Copies of this chain bind each other. A is one copy, B any other.
Amino acid sequence: MRRIPRHPHPKHTPGAAPDSGKWIMKKIVALIGAGQMASALTFPLIENGHEVRLIGSPLDDGIIDRLREDRYHVNLRRTLHEGISYYKNDRMREAIEGADLIVCGVSSFGVEWFADEVLPILDEDVPVISVTKGMLDHEDGSMQTYPEYWKSRVPEDSALRFYAIGGPCTARDLADHDPSFVGFCGPDFSTLEWIRSVFSTPYYIISLTLDTVGLECAVALKNGYALGTAMAIGIKERLGDDGIDHNNMKSALFQQSVREMMDLLALVGGGAENIMFAAGDLDVTISAGRSRTVGLLLGKGLAIEEILEQLKGQTLEAVVIATRTARAVKALAKRGIVREEDYPLLMHVNALLNEGAELDIPWKQFEQRIG
């Protein structure tokens, strides 16, 4: 495993930042993965006067080609700002050279690639912040966030520090300067404050927390529950114009989702306050996008095979994460640590995704004695 030696590089080039806060000087930010979210993050970065390098993963060559042509991002469907440097994966080393901040923007399917190919060549002194949402599950039922996983993949004496972004933020709305309220997490507030200063704009609102497990699990967990809650939208569509609002049904699923997510958060040792991110992210996820679509189609009564066929070619992270979460709960249940019946919505979503079950929301299993 080769590693770029620590070397002094120009971290404090004064820049043309419009705002002149304590740290607001021109920084070099290298974004790895040219997906929608990393590309959307170039908006606040360029507007803050930073040098921005957008580096495609091995799957992003087409995106990079088009961006070089006219700055149009074919998936984000937005034209990026002028002034961004575009790199394909084969020029990774050059692209990260001298960077003050690394942004990991791979999808959850690129987590291994990032560990294998990128981590070994990073400068240990440069913080890494990830926008990859999701988590891993292990055979014993434990769940692991990506920052924790990557930390486990670098040598123990590595100084590399991992930070992450979570919260309700669609890439397109961020690119469009819609107010977007997220959390940045990581091991220390001083670096978090610095990273916030790099990204902060009037429309990009950033809270900070040291609770990486809490924030990252909160926004990972919401995946399965977005499928579960969006089912209400599909059921309503299926029922057609029956004169019923069906708002109670959707809110019932939302409420049950919040309850199960709170319990899961406690289970992984995340702070209860992170439920704000889980609930906010759940809300945005059922408003638009692929996870909403999968849940909606499940609610319409389609089998998962039909849904996958219909959405062929799209990455469906929610399906993967929901499956992982359910698998973890089942493993923990086997060990007597939790009871499957305390997660009836997650279990039903999992049964629909992985066990060929038919839609039959276990409403009465939501009933509990609380406290």
Interface residues of A (CB under 8 A from B): 167-170, 172-174, 176, 178-181, 183, 189, 196, 202-203, 205-211, 214, 243-252, 254-256, 258-259, 262, 271-277, 279-281, 283-284, 287-288, 361, 363-364, 366-371
Residues A254 and B279 in contact, CB atoms below 8 Å apart:
yes
CA distance A180 to B248 in the complex (A): 5
Known contacts A202-B364, A205-B252, A280-B258: A246-B178 contact under CB 8 Å: yes
The residue of chain B having its C-beta at the shortest distance from the C-beta of A183 within the complex is: B370
CA distance A269 to B162 in the complex (A): 36
Residues A255 and B280 in contact, CB atoms below 8 Å apart:
yes
The residue of chain B having its C-beta at the shortest distance from the C-beta of A261 within the complex is: B276
Known contacts A255-B276, A276-B258: A170-B247 contact under CB 8 Å: yes
Q: Looking at the assembled complex, report how far the CB atom of A240 sits from the nearest CB atom of chain B, in whole angstroms.
A: 14
Q: What are the residues of chain B within 8 A of A371 when measuring CB–CB?
A: 209-211, 214, 271, 273
Residues B245 and A287 in contact, CB atoms below 8 Å apart:
yes
16 contacts between A and B (CB under 8 A): A168-B247, A168-B251, A169-B248, A178-B244, A178-B245, A179-B363, A181-B248, A189-B369, A205-B363, A208-B368, A247-B287, A255-B276, A255-B279, A271-B371, A273-B370, A275-B279
**Most B-side CB within 10 Å, residue of A256, A259, A283:** A283
Residues B251 and A281 in contact, CB atoms below 8 Å apart:
yes
Residues B275 and A181 in contact, CB atoms below 8 Å apart:
no
CA distance A361 to B202 in the complex (A): 11
Q: What are the residues of chain B within 8 A of A170 when measuring CB–CB?
A: 245, 247-248
Residues B275 and A258 in contact, CB atoms below 8 Å apart:
yes
Q: Looking at the assembled complex, report how far the CB atom of A166 sits from the nearest CB atom of chain B, in whole angstroms.
A: 11
Q: What are the residues of chain B within 8 A of A272 when measuring CB–CB?
A: 262, 272
Known A-B contacts: A176-B243, A181-B248. Give 14 more (CB < 8 A).
A167-B255, A173-B248, A179-B248, A180-B252, A181-B255, A196-B367, A205-B252, A211-B370, A247-B284, A248-B284, A251-B280, A254-B280, A254-B283, A272-B272
The residue of chain B having its C-beta at the shortest distance from the C-beta of A232 within the complex is: B179
Q: What are the residues of chain B within 8 A of A206 when measuring CB–CB?
A: 367
Residues A363 and B181 in contact, CB atoms below 8 Å apart:
yes
Q: Looking at the assembled complex, report how far the CB atom of A179 sits from the nearest CB atom of chain B, in whole angstroms.
A: 5
CA distance A343 to B251 in the complex (A): 25
- Looking at the complex, which one of B181, B246, B366, B369 makes contact with A181 (CB distance below 8 Å)? B366
Known contacts A179-B363, A251-B168: A245-B173 contact under CB 8 Å: yes
CA distance A203 to B235 in the complex (A): 15
Q: What are the residues of chain B within 8 A of A276 when measuring CB–CB?
A: 255-256, 258-259, 262
Q: What are the residues of chain B within 8 A of A202 when measuring CB–CB?
A: 363-364
Residues A209 and B369 in contact, CB atoms below 8 Å apart:
yes
The residue of chain B having its C-beta at the shortest distance from the C-beta of A78 within the complex is: B243
Q: Looking at the assembled complex, report how far the CB atom of A343 sits from the nearest CB atom of chain B, in whole angstroms.
A: 14
Residues A249 and B173 in contact, CB atoms below 8 Å apart:
yes
Q: What are the residues of chain B within 8 A of A271 when measuring CB–CB?
A: 370-371
**Most B-side CB within 10 Å, residue of A170, A196, A262, A276:** A276
The residue of chain B having its C-beta at the shortest distance from the C-beta of A272 within the complex is: B272
Q: What are the residues of chain B within 8 A of A255 when measuring CB–CB?
A: 167-168, 181, 276-277, 279-281, 283
Residues B275 and A252 in contact, CB atoms below 8 Å apart:
no
Q: What are the residues of chain B within 8 A of A367 when measuring CB–CB?
A: 196, 205-208
Residues A172 and B245 in contact, CB atoms below 8 Å apart:
yes
Known contacts A203-B363, A208-B368: A288-B179 contact under CB 8 Å: no
